[in-house]
Amino acid sequence: MRRRNLIEVLLVEDNPGDASVVRAVFGEAKSLNRVHHAENGLDAVRFLRKDAPYQGVPTPHLILLDLSLPGMDGRDVLAEIKRDASLRGIPVMILTSSRTQQDILRCHEEHANCFISKPEQAEDLARAVRTAAQFWLDVVTLPGG
């Protein structure tokens, strides 16, 4: 039987509607999980490094990362994560509206674990996120999870 440890998820998303869909889907998941939310790339990096005001936050087991973020974009966040020896083992799922081959290739070159282009309709986004959540939370054994 699979262990039911709490899975910490960091969602990095600036679109409130998309963030709401993702949080709702992860709330439906069979696995125990807690979703933390950063609305921009700089806050995501601060969260991951536990810089102020994020001292004492848990290290996530999984990161869901949008590419189009204000300030520091998701491409730069991904590069920061994968350059940092203490963070690079955390799986990163790219969840973005981008469909460009350049972004897909760059993210895979930066060792993203998967790349999902957001569908335009909310119900299609929920279905895609539900499938990904089931895989990452119920099938995969996450580091530290």
- pLDDT (0 to 100) of residue 138: 87
The percent of residues above 90 in pLDDT, for the chain, comes to 85
- pLDDT (0 to 100) of residue 18: 95
When computed from its CA atoms, the radius of gyration of the chain, rounded to whole angstroms, is: 14
Alpha carbons 144 and 127: distance in angstroms, whole number: 27
The overall average pLDDT reported for the chain is 93
- pLDDT (0 to 100) of residue 2: 44
Alpha carbons 136 and 120: distance in angstroms, whole number: 22
The percent of residues above 70 in pLDDT, for the chain, comes to 97
Contact 82, 90 (CB under 8 A): no
Report the pLDDT averaged over residues 14-40. Answer: 93
Report the pLDDT averaged over residues 59-87. Answer: 96
Report the pLDDT averaged over residues 98-117. Answer: 96
- pLDDT (0 to 100) of residue 145: 65
Q: Which residues, 6 or more positions from 92, have their beta carbon under 8 angstroms from its beta carbon? A: 63, 65, 78, 81, 82, 111, 112, 113
Q: Is the pLDDT of residue 95 over 50?
A: yes
The answer to which of 23-27, 63-67, 101-105, 109-113 has the lowest mean pLDDT is 23-27
Report the pLDDT averaged over residues 52-76. Answer: 96
Q: Is the pLDDT of residue 98 over 70?
A: yes
